[in-house]
Amino acid sequence: MALGELPVAWSLPAADARAGWRALWWSVGPGNELAVMLVQKRNLSRSRHTRGWVGWSVAAPCDGVLVVVSGGVEHRTAVTGIFPHTTHLVLLPQSRFLLVQGRTHRDDTGGWERNALLYTAGGHPVSSLCVGDDIDYALSDRDGGIWTSYGDEGIYGDHPESAPGLARWDTDGTHTWSPRGRLPVWPLGGNAGATEESTAWLAWYSHKGPFVSRVDTAGDVTTYRNPLWGTDGIAVRGTGMLLTRREHGRSRVELSRAEFLDDAWVITGQEKLTVPGPVVLYCAQGRDGVLWLRAGDTWIRFEV
């Protein structure tokens, strides 16, 4: 697929880049609205070892601007009180959102530090909560639940809700779902996530290979072999699935299509895509059969 044929949903305007704004964390909301957090470059520090936008980090508490794009219309909200070490943005119903730090630590009392801030639709923080340690992936469902998957330091660390590898939380910080031994093997880390109406899909990997788990509204979990090793994005609609695998730090992505056949996901087609910018960590998210892909400062949407 040629660059000009890609279904581009939004790009950071050149005027914003010239004015010093950098596009950092992003998410897709329950209504398939794209949200991107902009922060001024003067408030950021740059890693010499991490490529792409994930190499930028907030050096001290600062403000920003949340850009939400829905139906081709762009809306901007000033955001206050962004804290350092933020790694994830989670969009919630009623235009609320979370900013999440990937790590948490025990405080002086032995409790776990709160690593997520809940914001109003007006961009003001109203409460904080803890959603586990070493978060690889975070997204919301239609009911405002927060789904998280964890890396090895969380899974093999001390935080009890991170140890199973996958979890769901309410916005008050209550842990509402865990695999409870229902996975075929212990996860080593998570790498992709999606929702399909009220169902959550979480892709993860283990020493026995990659898997994808479906969690329904009752909390029941069904796990399948993931047909694509190295998946960084999934989207599901019915018996169809889209999967992406990036060429890290390059402007190249492999897009695969899969069908559910004989109780297994089977890849039915693959294509190599040249995209508008380098593809790095946290590059994809799936919502109701749409796979959103970030390539540099451009977002592309693919339909199952």
Digit-coded pLDDT (tens) for 49-93: 888 999 999 989 999 999 999 998 999 999 999 999 999 999 999
Q: Which residues of 59-85 are buried (b: 16+ CB within 10 A; e: fewer)?
A: eeebebbbbbbeeeeeeebebeebbee
Say if CB 112 and CB 130 are below 8 A apart: yes
The whole-number pLDDT of residue 49 equals 87
SS (H, E, C) 242-262: EEEEECCCCCEEEEEEEEEEC
The whole-number pLDDT of residue 160 equals 95
Mean pLDDT score across all residues of the chain: 96
pLDDT at 101 over 80: yes
The whole-number pLDDT of residue 117 equals 97
pLDDT at 15 over 90: yes
Secondary structure element (H or E) that encloses residue 184, with its range: none
pLDDT at 181 over 60: yes
The whole-number pLDDT of residue 128 equals 97
Burial label for 105, CB within 10 Å (0-12, 13-18, 19+), is exposed
- 10 Å Cβ neighbour count for 135? 24
Tokens 């999967």 — which residue? 243
- Count of alpha carbons within 13 angstroms of residue 214, beta-carbon side: 18
For the stretch 131-176, pLDDT in tens is 999 999 999 999 999 999 999 999 999 999 999 999 999 999 999 9
The whole-number pLDDT of residue 165 equals 97
Q: Residue 214: which of 236, 232, 233 has the closest Cα?
A: 236
Q: Using CA atoms, how far apart are residues 272 and 195, in angstroms rounded to an integer?
A: 25
Secondary structure element (H or E) that encloses residue 154, with its range: helix 152-155
Say if CB 21 and CB 38 are below 8 A apart: yes
The whole-number pLDDT of residue 5 equals 84
The whole-number pLDDT of residue 4 equals 59
pLDDT at 260 over 50: yes
The whole-number pLDDT of residue 2 equals 47
For the stretch 263-280, pLDDT in tens is 999 999 999 999 999 999
For the stretch 184-228, pLDDT in tens is 999 999 999 999 999 999 999 999 999 999 999 999 999 999 999
State percent of the chain over pLDDT 70: 99
Say if CB 30 and CB 93 are below 8 A apart: yes
Banded model confidence at residue 120, pLDDT cuts 50, 70, 90: very high
Question: With the C-alpha atoms ordered 302, 284, 253, 188, is the resulting torsion angle positive or negative?
Answer: negative
Q: What is the dihedral of CA 261, 265, 270, 274, to 10 degrees?
A: 140
